[in-house]
Amino acid sequence: MTGKIVIVLMLAFMVGIIGFHPGAAKSSTFVPSGITAIKNVESQKLKLNAKVPRYRSKDKDADYAGALMRTAVKIQEDVDIKNIKGSIRHIKSASSGSGVVIAVRNNKSLILTAAHVCISAAPVGRVVFKGKYIVTHSQKYVITTKGKKLRVIRIVKKEINNDVCIIETVGNAGNIASVAPDYPPMGARVHSVGAPAGYWQNGLPNIVEGRYVGIRTTPMFIRTNMSPLGFMMFVNFSQYSFPIVGGQSGSAIFYRGKIIGIATIGTSRYEHLVWGPGVLQLKSFVKDTLKKWK
C-alpha cells in the first residue's frame, strides 16, 4: 500500500514539472511547460520587431474624438522686437489661441476662432517691456495637427460684439467641421478641442469633455480702436461646464460632430465655467463668409 502511494506521488510530481499540453488528449504527447514559455517569448519578440500594421480602432467613441481633434488648430504669433540699443530679439508664440477648420479650397483654409485671438497682441510699433523694446515685426501662424506651420494671410471677417472671427491661411489646415443647425438639449455632453496653455507638442491637440448648460446673458468687456478705453456690453452667450485655461480661446465646442459654439470667456474664480457665441451667432456668420469667400 505504501509503495502505491509513493508511485502516485511520483507521477503527480512529474506531471507538475513537465506540464500537460492542452492537446494531449488528442495527440497523447507531453510538452514541457518551460519550452512553451520560451516559444511564447520568442513569438512576442517577432511581433514587436515586425512591421506595425495600420491602426484601426473598433472603439466608436475614440474614432469620434479623433475625428474632432483633426479639425483643430493652434494659433500663435511670432514677434520681432528691437531694444533701445538696436539689437533684434525674436519671440515665438507671443500670443496663443485655438481654432477650427471650416473650409479648405485652392490651397487655402478658413479658420473659425475668437475675435480677441485674431487681433494682434503685439502690433508693429507697440512699445513693450517697460518701454525698452518696440515691436518691429509681427506675424500670426496656424499650427496644424500634422505639425505644419501655415502663415495667416488676412482676417476675412470679425464681429467684436460676439467675439467671433474667421482668418484665412495658406495651405490645407486639416479636416473640415461644420456648424450645427440648432442648439443641443440642456445637459448634453459636449467636447472642446484646442491648445490649453499653448500645449501642442507634436501636433497633438487636447480634447476635454463637459456639458452644455444653456443660454445666459453674459457681461463682456470690449476694447476697440474706436474705443481704446473699452466698454461693457451684455450678450446672449452659451454656457458650458468644462475645464478651460488661457490658450483655449477660440476652440470649437462640438455636439454630435457639429460645432455648437466656441470658447471665448472663462473665469479665474472657477475654471469649469465657459461662455461663448453659440449656434445663433455662428450660423449666419459662417454661412455669409463662406458664400463670399473666393
Q: Report in angstroms the alpha-carbon separations of 213 from 102, 220, 272.
A: 25, 19, 12
Identity of the amino acid at 151: R
**Could you give the CA distance from residue 148 to residue 172 in angstroms, rounded to a whole number?**
9
Which pLDDT belongs to residue 240?
Answer: 95
In a domain, 286, yes or no: yes
Handedness of CA 175, 179, 181, 183 (dihedral sign): positive
**Domain tally for the chain?**
1
Residue 29 located in a structural domain: no
For residue 204, list its beta bridge partners. Answer: none
Tens place of pLDDT per residue across the chain (294 aa): 554 444 444 444 444 443 333 333 333 333 333 333 434 444 443 343 334 334 455 678 888 888 999 999 999 998 888 886 767 777 766 667 999 999 999 999 999 999 989 987 777 877 877 677 888 888 899 999 988 999 999 999 999 888 999 999 999 999 999 999 999 999 999 999 999 988 887 778 899 999 999 988 766 665 555 555 565 666 789 999 999 888 999 999 999 999 999 999 887 778 788 999 989 889 999 999 999 897
Tell me what pLDDT residue 57 has. 52
List, in sequence order, every beta strand (DSSP E) within 144-205: 149-159, 164-170, 189-194
- Quick one: CA torsion of 207, 210, 213, 218, rounded to 10 degrees? -50
Residue 203: closest CA among 147, 149, 148: 147
For residue 224, the domain's CATH number is: 2.40.10.120
Q: Write down the pLDDT at residue 18.
A: 39
Residue 24 lies in a domain: no
Domain that holds residue 106: 71-292
For residue 189 the three cell numbers come to 455632453
205: number of CA atoms within 13 Å, CB side?
Answer: 32
Grid cell 494531449 is found at 24
Rounded CA-CA distance 5/13 in Å is 12
Check residue 255 and give left, alpha or beta (phi > 0: left; psi -120 to 50: alpha). Answer: beta
Residue 282 belongs to some domain of the structure: yes
Residue 48 pLDDT:
38
Say what the pTM is. 0.73
Helices assigned H by DSSP within the chain: 2-18, 24-27, 33-49, 60-69, 115-118, 279-292
- Please check whether residue 49 lies inside any domain of the structure: no
Residue 66 falls within a domain, yes or no? Answer: no
* Position 156 in a domain: yes
Kindly tell me the number of DSSP H helices and DSSP E strands found in the chain: 6, 14
Q: Tell me the C-alpha distance between 165 and 282, whole Å.
A: 10
Question: So what's the pLDDT on residue 29?
Answer: 37
Q: Is residue 6 part of a domain?
A: no
